[in-house]
Homo-oligomer: A and B are copies of this chain.
Amino acid sequence: MALLVCKFGGSSVADINKIRRIADKLIAMKAQGHRIVTVVSAMGDTTDDLLELTREIGRGHDLRELDMLLATGEQQSASLLAMSLQAAGCPALSLTGWQAGILTDNVYSKARINDIDPIRIEQELDQGKIVVVAGFQGIAPNGDITTLGRGGSDTSAVALAAGMKAKHCLIFTDVDGVYTADPRIEPRASKLRQICYEEMLEFASVGAAVLQPRAAELAMNYRVEVEILSSFTEKPGTIITEVAKMDKVRTVSGVAHDLNVAKIAIFDVPDQPGIASKVFRALADNAINVDMIVQSQMKGDRNDIAFTIERQELSRALPLVETVVADIGAAGMAYGDDVAKISIVGAGMQSKPGVAADMFAVLAENGINIQMISTSEIKTSCIIEEAQTQKAVQALHQCFDLENES
């Protein structure tokens, strides 16, 4: 019997009726002869409600206690799903992260899984049970409860699938797969039947949030075949696998856009070693993540440096950057949160020159100004004006002929 690892997100277990439907789905999968481990997130708004209580308490508490608190949400949904399975006549049991042997480091609130010790899970599977694992959590070497960061249940599922050598990892969510573009922006977007790990990783990191970046990375490293599919339909989803196993490798698989972007530019930065590091050290020390960085030599010995951060970090970043600007003797700075990042992703891009040039041409033809560019082997991203996002997505979707990709 093949082992399947499933994962259901918070909206799939938001109330008892939905949990019952998940139970029926799992029982049908078990009837097909599979051994089933399923990971669940916390019910609907549970995590937000708990966070609201911590805001009432105010500042000064540590992340260890936050992990202790938040981990209860998944423990609750796991036990409720196990009860629903039992009430439907199916042997089942729930396990917390520590009971399931999800061993992490001790970085509270964004722990990394070091190892999986699935002995208890195996015992319970051998007794014919469906095993429900509380997602998002694990246990640190000192016996503390840790959490894996928001969306960490994806990571729990992929790690269990890797650690237990599962045939498939099925991520059930509220969308039914990975699309060539966001269907709310481009109604002609089509669902991709297959994409490769590298593409998924790029999609995940440019804001197409169907799978957490860390889960995508783990799946790639351990070659776990992941399928993204809907909790609420029976339609096939998108399979994430190795390039070698794909029916076809596309030059461009999709267009992604990300509005959670703000841009900061510093003018006339002295062209001396160590100057750039001063800027970015100040941000890193305050846990502000910098995404794209562009440095351009404008005149003589002075440069302009521009970079992007997450939009909600802008108000925290500005005073830090102002201090550095004064410190290094730059001429000044500018910033804007009316920008968007548009990306094209495709595993075939690396062997086909001119794709980036095609992208720039299409944007230019549509009167869309490119403010910043960054590229990887299988991705090209441009920062543009936010108001032009939809026009850009639709133009690129048409240019790369993505309408009938599924």
Contact = CB atoms under 8 A, between A and B. Distances in A.
Given A16-B53, A54-B83, A94-B68, A60 B89 contact: yes
A106 to B, nearest CB: 13
Contact of A68 (B20, B65, B68, B78): B78
Contact of A69 (B58, B62, B80, B86): B80
Nearest to A88: B60
A145 B61 CA distance: 27
B60 A69 contact: no
A75 B79 CA distance: 15
B57 A84 contact: yes
Nearest to A83: B61
A76 B64 contact: no
Q: Tell which of A88, A96, A144 has the most Cβ of chain B within 10 Å.
A: A96
Q: What's the dominant secondary structure at chain A's contact region?
A: helix
Q: Tell which of A19, A57, A99 has the most Cβ of chain B within 10 Å.
A: A57
Interface string A110-149: 0000000000100000000000000000000001110000
Interface size class of chain A, counting residues whose CB lies under 8 Å from the partner chain: 35 or more
Given A56-B16, A57-B16, A99-B143, A62 B76 contact: no
B65 A83 contact: yes
Contact of A58 (B58, B59, B76, B87): B87
A93 interface: yes
A220 to B, nearest CB: 33
Given A94-B68, A99-B143, A61 B82 contact: yes
A60 B184 CA distance: 43
